[in-house]
């Protein structure tokens, strides 16, 4: 047992932590444990369906999986919670119930009912689904989903502090930590779903709340506690009219109301002035970048009152937005050889910010700012009209022509008025001086009109070969106040669907585009997109598949020189020679690359910094970079499912994703971080049918994340975790 435990520990990177993990390792050896609920890409073969059980006239099937997780983790807790976030404790892993009326004519309220749920008791993702229907009378569907989003990657948004900072105080944890919960409720009811006229009603409630951290720069960068409380309510109503079996006309009305009540305040006051007043010097104590001052502390440890610092900060911006939307749709194939569909949408949005409030109390050396109070309001409208019409005409049994026209226009005017009162001063030990009040108003306007027409001809050359050739023209007019940008795009389209043999399928698509202008620096002037997908089944028990997806674009004008590509290649195999076992294999390679001329500032400049043109120097960004970014990623997996005995089911596998990328270094303390990392997860599992209605299950997952050294001015982010899930399933 000792030698086997040592081998498993070495294989999974657990070292020699015998006392902590020997119980788990023994469990792995005895029960052949498998993947946890969150990573069940290869679930055990379910037991045979129990015999029908009739309750109150309904054929009823029910199952429930009760169990829990046993978790052992080493390494970075924040990174584990960011990528996995599964912890020890009891769980309702899965639950399901289906009821089908044996004789629908005797069912009073419903003919069919099905519901399922998962993850309750502490998992980061859980949900419940419900579907109830009664023949031609109604169909009701409801879902509830809860998702905890935790993100604490300490290199993201972390100040990369220059080496000659004094003092050197690295931010070990992310100043932009994110820990919110999203709850989504969906309710949908259709009346008379099979009739010529049917009516639909729906309601969606989406709320996102919880804490996160943020930063703001006023002299120095303050760490803020950001309390999220944003919600969206959507009411829908619609009617479907079917004048004949091949034609449907639908009208929908959507009303969405958004409430944004997120607020910001200082996360903490960790120092003090000479008079004992709490003060924050921010997240960065560098003496050369984002500086509080050259000497932030007095000899007695108190804060220099003439440094950039915060005594208080608050910001509140309650936003209310109303989105009323109308939509008319139709689809028809009633006319011989002609198929048509169309849609017209109108949306008029109004957004109001009525009581903006921001307070800064502290000291900023720029302008000797001692305190500032800003209040104001804003009003924005958005008028959106969007529609499309498509038609396909079958000229002959082998040749068809199709055309799709899309129109999109939106107009977004906005106004705001803000009043700012500034108080000057020379020290935080002195009360704010005389106020200076300034009121500013602003008007902004953004319009965009887009017309797109796509024409496509398709020819069935043989029963095993279909070719298509098309042309697309798109024109865009973008207006920002008096500035007008016009863009014209020309596209060439080609497609082929081939079946050389009954066992082999090949699909090829190509899109190519040229534009005479762009709106942003990374918008393409030219692009090519190649997509090839194949499926080959040489034997009934063997299926091979492959995909090549190549996207390339460029905006190669002199001052931009933007190039990018995304190359993706993948291969998969499925082997299922019988009911006893099956094997799935997959491998993929993805390379994301881009380069764009950009200017930036840095103190001190990195060794490879180039000299920027005068326009960048005058803007305070004197260094030039090619903006190089490359992210080659490989991912692979295999999974085997086996049932050597009628009541015994096994599964095991392995998944890994590894990236070996690089980017332009703009700061001497910058490290590659997750751009050179791996994430692996081997798993195994067993399910044993004890009785007709009882199944015992055990799952095991290993999670391992690592990055190439060095880690930068932060804590290491590598971690290993062992997650064991034990459960008992009862079903009838």
Which tokens in the block code for residue 379?
């009003």
DSSP string, 237-284: EEEEEEEETTEEEEEEEEEEEEEE--EEEES---EE-TTS-EEB--S-
Q: What is the pLDDT of residue 335?
A: 95
Please check the confidence at residue 427 and state whether its pLDDT lies above 80.
yes
pTM of the entire structure?
0.87
In the predicted model, what is the mean pLDDT of residues 186-207? 96
The DSSP code for 670 is -
Please check the confidence at residue 81 and state whether its pLDDT lies above 50.
yes
CA–CA gap between residue 261 and residue 317 (Å, rounded)? 7
In the predicted model, what is the mean pLDDT of residues 476-487? 94
Q: Are residues 247 and 328 in the same domain?
A: yes
- Between 170 and 646, name the one with better pLDDT: 646
Q: What is the pLDDT of residue 161?
A: 60
In the predicted model, what is the mean pLDDT of residues 291-311? 88
The confidence band for 512, taking pLDDT boundaries of 50, 70 and 90, is very high
CB 296 within 8 A of CB 310: no
DSSP element (H, E) containing 31: helix 18-31
Average pLDDT, the chain: 89
Give the count of beta carbons closer than 10 Å to the beta carbon of residue 300: 6
Q: Are residues 220 and 301 in the same domain?
A: yes
Whether the CA torsion 119, 122, 127, 128 is positive or negative: it is: positive
Which tokens in the block code for residue 64?
């429930």
In the predicted model, what is the mean pLDDT of residues 252-259? 97
End position of a domain, from candidates 411, 428, 462: 462
Please check the confidence at residue 459 and state whether its pLDDT lies above 50.
yes
What percent of the chain shows pLDDT beyond 70?
Answer: 90
Which tokens in the block code for residue 418?
């803000």
Please check the confidence at residue 526 and state whether its pLDDT lies above 80.
yes
End position of a domain, from candidates 429, 462, 495: 462
The confidence band for 606, taking pLDDT boundaries of 50, 70 and 90, is confident
Q: Are residues 405 and 507 in the same domain?
A: no
In the predicted model, what is the mean pLDDT of residues 403-423? 97
Our CA dihedral for 640, 644, 650, 654, rounded to 10 degrees, sits at -20
End position of a domain, from candidates 649, 666, 701: 649
- Between 729 and 296, name the one with better pLDDT: 729
pLDDT digits (tens, 9 = 90+) for 542-555: 999 999 999 999 99
Domain-located, residue 59: no
- Distance set, CA 198 to CA 189, 193, 229, 446, 665 (Å): 10, 5, 37, 39, 60
Phi/psi at 162 (5° precision): -60, 155
CB 126 within 8 A of CB 119: yes
């169990």: which residue's tokens? 67
pLDDT digits (tens, 9 = 90+) for 118-166: 999 999 999 999 999 999 999 999 999 999 999 999 888 766 565 556 6
Q: Are residues 253 and 290 in the same domain?
A: yes
pLDDT digits (tens, 9 = 90+) for 5-56: 333 333 333 333 333 333 333 332 232 233 333 333 434 444 455 567 888 8
Domain that holds residue 289: 216-228+240-462
The confidence band for 117, taking pLDDT boundaries of 50, 70 and 90, is very high
Domain-located, residue 343: yes
Q: What is the pLDDT of residue 167?
A: 63
Number of domains in the chain: 2
In the predicted model, what is the mean pLDDT of residues 588-604? 89
Cβ within 8 Å of residue 168, ≥6 positions away: 161, 285, 286
Q: What is the pLDDT of residue 20?
A: 36
Q: Are residues 315 and 348 in the same domain?
A: yes
The DSSP code for 464 is T
Domain-located, residue 578: yes
DSSP string, 446-480: EEEEEEEEEEEEEEEEETTEEEEEEEEEEEEEEEE
Q: What is the pLDDT of residue 162?
A: 56
pLDDT digits (tens, 9 = 90+) for 229-249: 999 999 999 999 999 999 999
Nearest to 152 by CA among 220, 103, 102, 82: 82
pLDDT digits (tens, 9 = 90+) for 677-689: 999 999 999 999 9
Q: Are residues 480 and 457 in the same domain?
A: no
């Amino acid at each position: 047992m000792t030698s086997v435990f040592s081998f498993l520990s070495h294989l999974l990177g657990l070292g020699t932590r015998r006392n902590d993990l020997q119980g788990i390792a023994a469990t792995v050896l005895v029960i052949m444990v498998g993947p946890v609920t969150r990573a069940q890409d290869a679930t055990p073969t379910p037991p045979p369906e129990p015999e029908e059980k009739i309750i109150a006239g309904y054929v009823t099937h029910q199952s429930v999986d009760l169990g829990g997780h046993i978790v052992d983790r080493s390494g970075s807790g924040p990174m584990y919670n960011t990528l996995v976030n599964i912890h020890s404790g009891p769980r309702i892993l899965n639950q399901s119930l289906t009821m089908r009326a044996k004789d629908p004519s005797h069912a009073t309220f419903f003919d069919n009912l099905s519901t399922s749920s998962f993850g309750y008791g502490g998992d980061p993702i859980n949900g419940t689904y419900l579907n109830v229907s009664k023949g031609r009378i109604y169909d009701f569907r409801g879902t509830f989903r809860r998702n905890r989003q935790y993100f604490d990657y300490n290199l993201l948004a972390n100040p990369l502090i220059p080496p000659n900072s004094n003092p050197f105080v690295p931010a070990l944890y992310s100043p932009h930590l994110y820990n919110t919960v999203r709850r989504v409720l969906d309710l949908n009811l259709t009346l008379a779903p099979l009739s010529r006229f049917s009516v639909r009603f729906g309601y969606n409630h989406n709320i996102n709340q919880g804490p996160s951290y943020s930063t703001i720069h006023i002299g120095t960068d303050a760490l803020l506690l950001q309390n999220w409380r944003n919600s969206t309510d959507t009411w829908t109503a619609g009617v479907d009219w079917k004048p004949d079996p091949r034609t449907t006309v639908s009208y929908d009305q959507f009303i969405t109301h958004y409430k944004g009540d997120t607020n910001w305040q200082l996360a903490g006051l960790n120092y003090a002035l000479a008079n004992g007043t709490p003060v924050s010097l921010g997240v960065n104590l560098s003496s050369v970048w984002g500086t509080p001052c050259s000497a932030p502390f007095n000899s007695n440890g108190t804060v220099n009152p003439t440094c950039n610092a915060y005594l208080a900060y608050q910001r509140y911006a309650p936003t209310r937005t109303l989105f009323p939307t109308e939509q008319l749709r139709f689809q028809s194939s009633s006319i011989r050889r002609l198929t048509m569909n169309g849609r017209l949408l109108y949306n008029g949005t109004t957004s109001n910010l009525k009581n903006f409030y921001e307070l800064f109390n502290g000291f900023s050396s720029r302008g000797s700012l001692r305190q500032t109070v800003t209040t104001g309001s804003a009003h924005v409208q958005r008028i959106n009209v969007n529609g499309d019409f498509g038609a396909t005409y079958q000229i002959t049994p082998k040749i068809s022509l199709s055309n799709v026209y899309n129109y999109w226009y939106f107009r977004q005017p906005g106004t705001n008025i803000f009043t700012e009162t500034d108080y000057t001063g020379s020290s935080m030990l002195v009360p704010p001086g005389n106020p200076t009040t300034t009121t500013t108003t602003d008007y902004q306007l953004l319009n965009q009109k887009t017309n797109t027409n796509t024409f496509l001809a398709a020819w069935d050359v043989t029963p095993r070969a279909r070719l298509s050739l098309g042309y697309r023209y798109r024109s865009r007019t973008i207006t920002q106040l008096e500035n007008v940008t016009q863009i014209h795009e020309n596209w060439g389209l080609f497609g082929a669907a081939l079946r050389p043999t009954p066992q082999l399928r090949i699909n090829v698509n190509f899109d190519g585009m040229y534009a005479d202008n762009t709106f942003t620096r990374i918008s393409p002037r030219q692009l090519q997109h190649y997509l090839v997908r194949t499926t080959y089944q040489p034997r009934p028990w063997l299926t091979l598949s492959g995909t090549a997806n190549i996207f390339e674009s460029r905006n190669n004008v002199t001052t931009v020189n933007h190039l990018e590509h995304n190359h993706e290649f993948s291969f998969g195999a499925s082997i299922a020679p019988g009911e006893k076992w099956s094997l799935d294999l997959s491998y993929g390679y993805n390379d994301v690359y881009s380069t764009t001329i950009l200017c930036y500032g840095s103190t001190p400049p990195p060794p490879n910094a180039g000299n920027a043109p005068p326009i960048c120097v005058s803007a305070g960004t004197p260094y030039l970079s090619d903006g190089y970014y490359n992210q080659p990623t490989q991912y692979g997996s295999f999974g085997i499912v086996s049932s050597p005995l009628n009541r015994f089911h096994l599964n095991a596998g392995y998944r890994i994703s590894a990236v070996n990328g690089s980017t332009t270094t703009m700061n001497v303390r910058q490290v590659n971080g997750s751009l050179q990392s791996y994430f692996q997860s081997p798993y195994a599992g067993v399910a044993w049918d004890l009785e007709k209605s009882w199944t015992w299950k055990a799952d095991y997952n290993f999670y391992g994340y690592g990055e190439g050294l060095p880690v930068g001015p932060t804590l290491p982010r590598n971690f290993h975790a062992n997650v064991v899930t034990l459960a008992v399933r009862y079903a009838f």
